[in-house]
């Protein structure tokens, strides 16, 4: 589970979320397009921040969670009829097995304390053949990888993992990769769409 220092960090810097969201908007448009092409279902978004994504989900029943009390407060102000907002840790989900058709992890998997536990919980709460959408940076085997490695100690202080490989997470083997979308000339940011086996 996320420790107290990490909780405090994300509460303290909650005001930066909207700025970061603007920078990542082109990637997120692709994410929303992929999600909205799917049949109507129950969607869980882990790490909702201020709830900026809610307006872009066209037809799903949304449950959004975050560990930051400051962000939850902002997200609840959005007040969409199809959205339920809860303060909850993604590594210890309080939902029944098979509760959701889809799970969205947008720039979340590299900031949690235990990505393997997060994906294990995602697997548990997904219905059979359910899909998880992982939008994140993934360290490539080029010069960017060296930068990520050099930045590791600083990134730890900022409560995220700069050096990050999805294949290092054991729980990812429980899923089948359906689609990979690369962004930019250097494939540093990716959207990975997996299906529960």
Structure tokens at 48: 């909702």
Q: Is the domain 4-196 a CATH 3.40.50.300 member?
A: no
Q: Is the pLDDT of residue 2 over 80?
A: no
Residue ranges of domains in the chain? 4-196
Cα atoms in the 13 Å half-sphere on the side-chain side of 86: 14
Q: Which residue has the higher pLDDT, 34 or 136?
A: 34
Q: What average pLDDT does the segment 168-194 reach?
A: 91
Q: Is the pLDDT of residue 20 over 90?
A: no
Q: What is the percentage of the chain residues whose pLDDT exceeds 90? A: 58
CA distances from 50 to 6, 15, 73, 105, 174 (A): 17, 9, 8, 15, 30
Tell me the three state secondary structure of residue 187.
coil
Q: Is the pLDDT of residue 119 over 70?
A: yes
- Which of 47-56, 118-127, 177-186 comes out lowest in average pLDDT? 177-186
Per-residue pLDDT band for 187 (boundaries 50, 70, 90) equals: confident
Per-residue pLDDT band for 4 (boundaries 50, 70, 90) equals: low
Q: Which residue has the higher pLDDT, 113 or 7?
A: 113
The whole-number pLDDT of residue 24 equals 73
129-169 tens-digit pLDDT: 999 999 988 766 665 655 555 555 554 544 455 545 788 89
Q: What average pLDDT does the segment 54-69 reach?
A: 94
Q: Is the pLDDT of residue 97 over 60?
A: yes
CA distances from 159 to 6, 17, 29, 84, 100 (A): 6, 14, 26, 27, 28
Q: What average pLDDT does the segment 65-72 reach?
A: 91
Among candidate residues 136, 147, 142, the one with its CA nearest the CA of residue 169: 136
Q: Are 136 and 183 in contact (CB under 8 A)?
A: no
d(CA 36, CA 195): 16
Q: Are 181 and 190 in contact (CB under 8 A)?
A: yes
The arrangement of strands across the sheet holding 42-46 comes to: 83-87, 61-66, 42-46, 100-106, 126-137, 189-196, 175-183
Q: Are 20 and 127 in contact (CB under 8 A)?
A: no
Q: What average pLDDT does the segment 22-47 reach?
A: 92
Structure tokens at 61: 């029943």
Q: Which residue has the higher pLDDT, 64 or 10?
A: 64
| pTM of structure | 0.83
The mean predicted confidence, pLDDT, of the chain is: 84
């Amino acid at each position: 589970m996320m420790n107290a220092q990490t909780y405090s960090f994300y509460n303290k810097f909650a005001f930066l979320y909207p700025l970061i969201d603007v920078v990542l908007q082109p990637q997120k448009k692709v994410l929303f397009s992929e999600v909205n092409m799917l049949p109507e279902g129950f969607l869980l978004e882990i790490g909702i921040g201020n709830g900026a994504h809610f307006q872009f989900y066209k037809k799903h029943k949304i449950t959004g969670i975050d560990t930051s009390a400051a962000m939850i407060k902002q997200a609840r102000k959005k007040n969409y009829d199809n959205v339920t907002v809860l303060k909850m840790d993604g590594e210890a989900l309080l939902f029944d097995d098979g509760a959701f058709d889809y799970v969205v992890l947008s720039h979340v998997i590299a900031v949690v304390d235990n990505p393997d536990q997060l994906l294990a919980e995602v697997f548990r709460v997904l219905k059979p053949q359910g899909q998880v959408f992982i939008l994140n940076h993934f360290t490539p085997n080029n010069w960017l990888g060296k930068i990520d490695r050099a930045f590791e100690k600083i990134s730890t202080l900022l409560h995220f993992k700069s050096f990050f490989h999805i294949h290092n997470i054991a729980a990812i083997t429980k899923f089948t990769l359906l689609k990979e979308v690369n962004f930019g000339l250097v494939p540093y940011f990716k959207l990975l769409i997996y299906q529960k086996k």
